[in-house]
Chains A and B, each alone.
Chain A
Amino acid sequence: AQSVTQLDSQVPVFEEAPVELRCNYSSSVSVYLFWYVQYPNQGLQLLLKYLSGSTLVKGINGFEAEFNKSQTSFHLRKPSVHISDTAEYFCAVSLLNDYKLSFGAGTTVTVRA
């Protein structure tokens, strides 16, 4: 079975600074990878996903992530954050041809002025 580890539970960051959220997964077979964001009092919204092809994936709101198969990682980055990026971020993985997602525990990003 696959599992996901998000290495930071809380990431405080100043406005306009860069941010990186780390995600590692374990699986013996190929996977799909996802990052979701949850703004306060809302459901989850897809930021970006890796299914195949280029290992650098661009998503909404200026976020991007890089798939590294040798390190089994899928880290999320944004070069300059805004106050509105304050949210909880979840990394998720699914096996190919499987409907189910396995989620990490989440990383809370707090952006300060």
Chain B
Amino acid sequence: DVKVTQSSRYLVKRTGEKVFLECVQDMDHENMFWYRQDPGLGLRLIYFSYDVKMKEKGDIPEGYSVSREKKERFSLILESASTNQTSMYLCASSFSTDTQYFGPGTRLTVL
């Protein structure tokens, strides 16, 4: 079974803090994704990566950056957290254009 793990289930940070969200997959997938999920908006793609050190912006990259130094790990970085970044963050991975496998999510609250 594919396993995608995220470093925290719940996280509370203060405005202006630098925040790191970590995601690890164990299936040697090429592609990894970061989404945010908000009520009534579904999932929106922030960034994705199709190879180590490669990244592409998704639909809402502003205020975020990413890092992929190893194939199995994809990090989402909030350089200076703001209250409008309070959300559920979901990581996913996939092989080629097939099914994406999701982690359990990190619920981030920025105060």
B50-72 contacts to A, CB under 8 A, are 50, 58
Q: Which residues of B are in contact with A by a Cβ distance under 8 Å? A: 4, 31, 33, 35, 40-45, 48, 50, 58, 90, 92, 94, 96-97, 99-105
B contacts with A: majority SS: strand
Whether B102 pairs with A44 at a CB distance below 8 angstroms is: yes
Interface contact tally, CB-CB below 8 A: 56
Chain A residues within 8 Å of B44, by CB? 103
Give the interface residue-count category, chain A. 20 to 34
Given contacts A106-B40, A106-B42, 12 further A-B contacts (CB under 8 A): A6-B42, A9-B40, A32-B97, A34-B99, A41-B104, A42-B105, A45-B102, A46-B100, A92-B43, A99-B33, A103-B42, A105-B41
